Amino acid sequence: MKKVAILGSTGSIGKQTIDIIRKNKKKFKILLITADKNHNLLSKQIKEFNVKNVIVSDQKSYLILKKKFKNIRIYNDLNKIDKIIPSKFDYTMSAISGFYGLKPTIKIIKKTKTIAIANKESIICGWNLIKRELKKYNTKFIPVDSEHFSIWSVIKNINSNLIEQIIITASGGPFLSLKNKTIKKTPKLAIKHPNWKMGKKISIDSATLMNKVFEVIEAKKIFNLDMNKFKILIHPKSYIHAIVKFKNGLIKLVAHDTNMKIPIFNSIYNNSKNQFSSKKINIDLLNNLNLRKVDIKKYPLINILKLIPKKESLFETLLVSINDELVDLFLKNKINFDDISIKLNQLINNKSSLKYRQKKVNNLTQIEKLNEFVRLKTKTLSVISKN
């Protein structure tokens, strides 16, 4: 049986990972699950899969589970994740959302043979730290974002010098075709992604196209390619996830339904004979791809890509932290939707921010301290009156 750990088992990616395992329980043994506070769902997962090791961050949820389950090991500290299981996992899904998935992701690498990472912030802020651990412990890495998994599946055994261009597609979010400028872009409207069922934070990033800025940064790091090799195109139906153009003239398109279970399934089974029950090829969609250039006026955050340095730096952490706080302020109705782009551009283009483009990432503490400092400062500077 394949020994499995799922970090963030109650979130969207975690639940879909469990759905896949549920269909073939005889092949898997879930040894560890983690969550923040959803103790009700955690309880169900513990019972169904007979999980013996659980980490729950929220103190109240921890006490409830501790009282409920007497014969399993329940912990309250994610920082001890690498000390829970003495032997190695065969597969780990790192799906803790947000910046706080970085530390446990780095810590769990030495305890697993394969790690699938769905956490953007981990790769954006700490890729050189992750890469160092992957190499040190000979751990295989698989990206789970649909775009990065698509690129990886096409170029994993190909010399990067043969790649001419990689195109990442964007749906454009819920406001792509919005013509009535008087309609207020409320949090309720902004989280209604047209194609995917996602969390609130990532849905807002999709609406601003910040998620594509992050995805290009991720791809640059994961595949060790120059930023100028990447391009973003709007593709409203989200059927094509990546387009790779090679120097030999070939162009490869990777398409699949708007279903995150497809990259998750392939990361779990990885070239095995197991089959995913997918829909038939949608010819109507293939005949009407409707690919088009990004309107910079509508999505000004795309310009941020011009500021990303060639080498690893703390600037990426600064960017993630500021964006996180601004999105949170919007979701709490403290700023307007357009303020996210306006404020973010203002904050990252000042002198105190741009200096971080020259500062190298040496350790996790560096990233954590900058994250705390930037979040506090952003809250202070960005609470503005709504029009």
Q: What is the pLDDT of residue 383?
A: 53
Region 298-320: what's the mean pLDDT? Answer: 94
Q: Quick one: pLDDT band at residue 385, thresholds 50, 70, 90?
A: very low
Question: pLDDT tens digits for 217-235?
Answer: 999 999 999 999 999 999 9
Q: Residue 238: CB partners within 8 Å, gap ≥ 6?
A: 169, 171, 194, 195, 196, 258
Q: Which of 81-90, 293-302, 376-385 has the lowest mean pLDDT?
A: 376-385
What's the pLDDT score for residue 327? 94
- The arithmetic mean of pLDDT across residues 236-264, rounded, is 92
Q: Distance (Å, rounded) from C-alpha 208 to C-alpha 212?
A: 9
**Predicted pLDDT of residue 115:** 97
Percent pLDDT > 90 in the chain is 72
Please check the confidence at residue 84 and state whether its pLDDT lies above 90: no
Position 240 scores a pLDDT of 93
Mean pLDDT, the chain, rounded, equals 91
- 169 pLDDT exceeds 50? yes
**Amino acid letter for position 189:** L
- Examine the pLDDT at 133 and tell me if it is beyond 60: yes
Question: Mean pLDDT, to the nearest integer, of 100-129?
Answer: 94
pLDDT score at 287: 84
Report pLDDT for 196: 74
| Least confident range of 197-201, 212-216, 304-308 | 197-201
Q: Which residues contact 226 (CB under 8 A, 6 or more apart)?
A: 220, 310
CA distance 108 to 88: 10
Quick one: pLDDT band at residue 382, thresholds 50, 70, 90?
low
pLDDT band at 381 (very low <50, low <70, confident <90, very high): low
- The whole model's pTM is what? 0.91
pLDDT exceeds cutoff 50 at 129:
yes
- What's the pLDDT score for residue 82? 87
In what side-by-side order are the strands of the sheet with 163-170? 251-255, 240-246, 163-170, 230-234, 292-293
Where do the domains of the chain lie, and which CATH numbers do they carry?
2-143 (3.40.50.720), 145-259+280-303 (no CATH), 309-387 (1.10.1740)
- Helix axis angle for 261-269 and 146-155, nearest 10°, is 40
Q: Is the pLDDT of residue 386 over 50?
A: no
